[in-house]
Amino acid sequence: MPEEDIMDHAEHGYISNKDDYLRRLRRIEGQARGLQRMVEEEKYCIDILTQVSAMTKALQAVSLGLLEEHMNHCVVRAAQEGDAEGKAKVDEAVQAIARLVKS
pLDDT digits (tens, 9 = 90+) for 35-86: 999 999 999 999 999 999 999 999 999 999 999 998 888 888 888 887 787 7
d(CA 32, CA 15): 25
pTM: 0.76
Q: Where are the domains of the chain?
A: 18-102
Residues sharing a CB contact under 8 Å with residue 60, sequence separation 6 or more, in sequence order: 100
pLDDT at res. 11: 67
CATH class of 18-102: mainly alpha
